[in-house]
Amino acid sequence: MKTRYVAIALLMPIALAGCSRVRAKSAFQDGNKAYKEENFKKAIVAYERALSFEPDMPEALFYLGSAHQALFRPGKETPENKANLDAAIESYKSSLEKNVGNTPNLKSVKSNALAALTGIYSEDPYKNYDEALKYAEQLVQENPNDPKNLFAMANLFEKFEKEDKAEETYKKVVEVNPNDAKACGALAGFYNKPLWDGKSKFDAAIEVLQRCATIDPNDPQGFYKVSVFFWDKAYRDPLLSDPQKDRYADQGLEAVDKALALKPDYVDGLVYKGLLLRVKAQVSTNPRLRQQYLDQAQTLAKQAKELRLQQAEQSAPAPAASPAS
């Protein structure tokens, strides 16, 4: 009899631990449901309940931090608002401390926590280059060739005006993902931004974008993006002369014509071809040519509108059948 009681006594902690895990999982699921519904205050209560049953639960700690961060409003200087960000930081750090990273899910949670802390320390009120870099480096170490992690590092360098390091990182993303149009486009987008010395690298951006377009030469989007960059430069840069604007418009038209040759009903391509023709009309000194460009642009706008309506009708769900009388 005594042996039986000893055995029961030994089993009780195991049973209680199992019960706590079940309750923690249930509360965690409640938190996830509230989180998806964007009821972050309710989610916080549920995640804290989960942690009361299982304090070392990295997933609950991470989502607790995420829920607090979702309540934070940048620029709002109130104690309650700052407390949400402080709670988010504490929860993210606790999640990292408790996370052994021995499953794909835990590895993902760890990466997300590192990315969140990188972002927090890249912005006010806690903007701190060394702190942000510390977490970004850990993030990249988790998976050195993951474009998402490298983009986070590049974005960090941009925010702290480390132009050379940002460029190096964007280039690395392209290097390890040579067939990824998104990686290629990100480098082009970086070059197209006003850099911190007041200059730009538009020519480098175009060179990269044109290389992006060759990744899949049958995809019109690559050539379309080239045309968008040329239009944006010609239309928005006040420092360009009229001949320069005209030349950029011609180069944009050359690119968009390649896109339309691949897909004649490419609505966005038609729209930007019209916009590029309007740039040429704006800078033209020949009244006859100016009107010709405007007429072509108007025809393209009408064609794009009709195509957009047709495509919307084709994608609309069929009406439900009427019930038999």
State how far the alpha carbon of 220 is from the alpha carbons of 126, 240, 270, 304, in Å: 43, 28, 12, 16
pLDDT in tens, the chain (325 residues): 555 544 444 444 544 455 888 999 999 999 999 999 999 999 999 999 999 999 999 999 999 999 999 999 999 989 999 999 999 999 999 999 999 989 999 999 999 999 999 999 999 999 999 999 999 999 999 888 888 899 999 999 999 999 999 999 999 999 988 888 889 999 999 998 875 455 678 999 999 999 999 999 999 999 999 999 999 999 999 989 999 999 999 999 999 999 999 999 999 999 999 999 999 999 999 999 999 999 999 999 999 999 999 988 887 776 655 555 4
Q: Which of 227, 202, 225, 222 is nearest to 212 (CA)?
A: 222
Q: Is the pTM of this model over 0.85?
A: no
CA dist 58 and 69 (Å) reads 16
Residue 312's pLDDT is what?
87
Cis before 125 (ω within 30): yes
Residue 19's pLDDT is what?
82
DSSP track, 194-253: PPTTS---HHHHHHHHHHHHTTSTT-HHHHHHHHHHHHHHHHH-TT--HHHHHHHHHHHH
The amino acid at residue 178 is: P
- Angle, nearest 10°, between helix axes 202-213 and 181-191? 170
